Amino acid sequence: MRNDSNPLIDLHIAEYSAITTRNTYYGTIAFGLWPALVIFLTLISSSALLNAQFRGLLVGVAAVGSELICIGWYFCVWEQFKNVNYLEAELKPRITSILRQGQGDEGPQPVFWTYELWQMPRKGPQISRLIGDWWAGALVLGTSGGLFLFGHVAPGSSRTIWIVALVLALALLLAAFSQMMERLKFEGAMKRAAGQVARSSVPKNRPEAGGHAVPTIVPNPDGGVPDPAPWGPGMDVAGGPGLNDLEPQ
């Protein structure tokens, strides 16, 4: 723990690092599931061709396995959105409150962790985001439907396996819907954060102790995150007090 910063800031930064590392793991697992699905279907297809008497059962297993993998993918994406929601809606306001201690209501709004805000207007229209929510589920459910048309009449077909596939198909729809709702919650939090940043303008180059200037929050013409300018010593890249320059309260 550094001696030149508020101990709470150090704890929150450690929490931030732990959560972002967790999101990195979830992202790695999520993208690794698609190659796993291809390998799984390849092995099942080979087995079905070699075992005609169990072909219907193996096709059902292929449908069930595909749906399970897709549910796992949605779970990873849902967890990522949930973690970022926590960072933006819970952790960031706590750090902001600490950074503003001693400044009063007239102090500038600290601006930091702005990557998600910067990304928001660059993610395309809402229709493309909806496609991003549902494409995986639609692909897997379409594949499962095709497997059912072939597999339920193939030798060795089992009604039980197709009932399980139907239940998992419903669970997959629920997982896709839950992920979409978490994304919408995340986007709502980003809009509120952007509004707070836009309202936090201060007089330009108002001198602070030490001869440094407090930057004015200048809205971007493209609707992105307001850019602080100018920067100066003791300021982080977003225009707020630098984390390394905090004095213990």
pLDDT for 200 equals 59
CA proximity to 132, closest of 68, 194, 184:
184
CA 86 to each of CA 57, 91, 225: distance values in angstroms, whole numbers, following the listed order: 43, 6, 20
pLDDT score at 108: 67
Average pLDDT value over all residues in the chain: 78
Q: Which two tokens stand for residue 180?
A: 């979409």
CA–CA separation, 142 and 168 (whole Å): 13
Mean pLDDT for 14-33 is 95
Higher pLDDT, 222 or 92: 92
Comparing 16 with 49, the larger pLDDT belongs to 16
Q: Hey, what amino acid is at 112?
A: F
Q: Please tell me the predicted confidence (pLDDT) of residue 241.
A: 41
Q: Are 202 and 108 in contact (CB under 8 A)?
A: yes
Share of the chain above pLDDT 70, in %: 73
Of 145, 153, 142, 157, nearest to 58 by C-alpha is 157
Rounded to whole angstroms, how far apart are CA atoms 77 and 245? Answer: 36
The pTM (predicted TM-score) of the whole model is 0.72
Give the highest mean pLDDT range of 113-127, 164-178, 179-193, 214-228: 164-178
CA 234 to CA 56: how far, in whole Å? 68
pLDDT score at 106: 59
Query: pLDDT (tens digit, 9 = 90+) per residue, 130-154?
Result: 999 999 999 999 999 999 988 888 8
- Return d(Cα 161, Cα 167) in angstroms, integer: 10
| Inter-residue contact 64 to 93 (CB < 8 Å) | no
- Rounded average pLDDT over 56-68: 93
Residue 43: per-residue pLDDT = 94
Q: pLDDT for 200-226, tens place per residue?
A: 544 444 444 444 444 444 444 444 444
Mean pLDDT of 37-54: 90
Yes or no: say if 243 and 5 are a contact pair by the CB < 8 Å rule.
Answer: yes
Residue 228 is inside which H or E element, if any? strand 227-229
Given a contact cutoff of 8 angstroms between Cβ atoms, the answer to whether 80 and 23 are in contact is yes
